Structure formats: structure tokens, C-alpha cells
Amino acid sequence: MYYNNNTIVFYNGKWLKANELMVSPYSQTMHYGSGVFEGIRSYSTPDGTRIFKSEEHYERLLFSAKKMHMKVNYSVEEFTRLTYLLLEKNNLENAYIRPLVFAGANMSLTPTDEVNVLLCAWEWGKYLGNGSLDVMISSYQRPNPKSCYVEAKVTGHYVNSILATTEAKQKGFDEALLLDMNGNVAEGPGANFFFEKEGTLFTSPLGNILPGITRATMFELCEELGIRIVEKYFTAEDVKGADSAFFTGTAAEVAEINSLDRVPFKLKWEDSLGSLLQRKYLRRVAFNEFGNFSLV
């Protein structure tokens, strides 16, 4: 699904066949989860293939690497240039791009000089499916920001996400919504969360969540559309039975939520602010309406 015999990846300065790539079985990242990564999308637009918010993603990758004491020798501009080449070499237009920075052999708990850089991409449909999601409040909390850098995209953090999504699916839901260590709603396992009440949108403040690039795009769109959007802490009880709710993320884009803990949201999705933002978002990315598509 992710690669075949012809797939080309970028690995430590070289273009290689994906199935020829060798990584150390003693990689610290494989044993302890100390790598950092990104998830980026490109879209086919009337102006050609464009990577959406490449700069923001690669800035976050470099930020995450710094937090994990990993030295990365590529600039945001180099990464963007390499990513366009990667898409070209694999004949991809609408693609999901996965940069991964991972450590070399090191069985100690100290930073490692050897840092590997992998760029790969594949075609990926809508991450959270096309339907409306039934979501449960997870029994797992998001990691405490005093235990790790929650604002960094670190591979090991996704153990928490995997546990939460697996629990939700095993209980017959589509996805989980996780609380923070104080019992307020934080975010989904791989997406930020918004809900609508009486014409206003609410989302959790930064601090206990990944600062999503799609989340930031929602603020840009709301500003343009004159939609009031409020960052504040709220509980699951505040959300249940609200007018509407949705997840945002690069992979998920804007994904509608049908119910929380089986309590449905009041509005028909088509009539919700989320639906309006979903349509605006998809127009922006598909028609290159944003000025911030980076080209090098």
C-alpha cells in the first residue's frame, strides 16, 4: 500500500528504491521512540502539484528535532525542494508526504550523533474515512506536557495515540477524543478538535496539544469568514449535545463528527460551521487559493 518495487525515497542524501533501504536494527528510535516526523499533503492544483504549507511543516520538523537533541543538516528550503523532487520521481500529485528523522545505533538513553533523514510519499485517501465519525472519550489521557514536549511531533508520543484509537475501535467507535491531565478535552489521537455552540467555535488552547497546522488554517479561514473562534479549556460535558464538532489535521483535513459517547450533535452536518470550513479548506488546497503554497 505504501510502496512498491518502483517507489523512490530520499535517504541521507541519496535517492534509493524503498525496498532497498537498510536501517540499523539498533536504531535508538526503533527501540525507544526518539524520532521526529511530519505528515504533509500535496494537491493537484490548476497551477500544478503544490505542497500545502511546506514551510510550516518543515519548521515544525526542525523544532521537533531540536527538542529531541537531533541535529538535522537540511534547511526548510532544501526540504521543500527535495519534497518536490520526491513527488516528481514517484509521479505523485495528490500525495501524503512523510519526512522521518531517526537516530542511529544507540542503546543508551543519550542523544546520538548519527541522525538519519528519510522522505517518502504515497497516495492516501481521507484519513478518517468519508462518513461521519462516532467518537468516544478515551480512557487514555494525552501525555502530560511535563513528561515530554507535546508540541513536538515525536514518534514515541504515538504509542498513546495507537492505544486510544485501538480502544475506540474495539468498543465500536470510529475514533477517540482524549482529555488532558486536568480532565479537559485536549485533542484526537492524530487531529485537533473543534466544536460549535450557538454560532461560535471552540477549541482547546495550546499547551497540552500538538499545535496543528490545519488548526492554524481554521483560524485563518474563520477570520476571513467572520466566524468567532474561542480558545479555552472545556470538558467532555460541555461538548456533548453541542451543535456540531469536527477534527482537523493534515491527513484528516476537516472530518465531521456525528456523536460523542453516543450523544449526537444537534445540527445536520451540512448546516454546521464545520461543513462550511470543510468546503472552504478543500477549495483552498485544491485550487491553490492560499498564498502560502511554497515553491522553490
Residue 115 grid cell: 541522525
- 133 φ/ψ angles, rounded to the nearest 5 degrees: -95, 135
Q: Measured from the CB atom, is 96 or 265 closer to ligand PMP?
A: 96
**66, 153, 197, 268: which is the annotated catalytic residue?**
153
The gap from C-alpha 29 to its chain's centroid, in whole angstroms, comes to 20
Q: Measured from the CB atom, is 8 or 201 closer to ligand PMP?
A: 201
Residues in the chain, how many?
296
Q: Measured from the CB atom, is 8 or 252 closer to ligand PMP?
A: 252
CA distances from 161 to 7, 79, 196, 287 (A): 28, 27, 24, 32
CA distances from 246 to 79, 133, 254, 289 (A): 31, 9, 7, 23
CB of 227 to ligand PMP, least distance (A): 18
Residue 65 grid cell: 528535532
- DSSP for 142-175 reads PPPTTTS-TTS-BGGGHHHHHHHHHHHHHTT-SE
Q: Return residues touching ligand PMP (CB under 6 A).
A: 39, 187, 190-192, 210, 212-215, 248-250
Known catalytic membership, residue 232? no
Q: Measured from the CB atom, is 57 or 273 closer to ligand PMP?
A: 57
Residue 58 grid cell: 518543515
The SS3 assignment for 89 reads helix
- Please give the DSSP secondary-structure letter assigned to residue 222: H
Nearest to 34 by CA among 7, 67, 78, 82: 67
What's the burial of 238, exposed, middle or buried (CB within 10 Å: 0-12/13-18/19+)?
middle
Q: Measured from the CB atom, is 104 or 211 closer to ligand PMP?
A: 211
Q: Measured from the CB atom, is 59 or 114 closer to ligand PMP?
A: 59
**Contact yes or no for 95/122 (Cβ under 8 A):** yes
Task: Tell me how crowded residue 105 is: count the other CB atoms within 10 A of its CB.
Answer: 14
Q: What is the amino acid identity at position 42?
A: S
- 157 φ/ψ angles, rounded to the nearest 5 degrees: -65, -20
* Residues annotated as part of the active site: 153
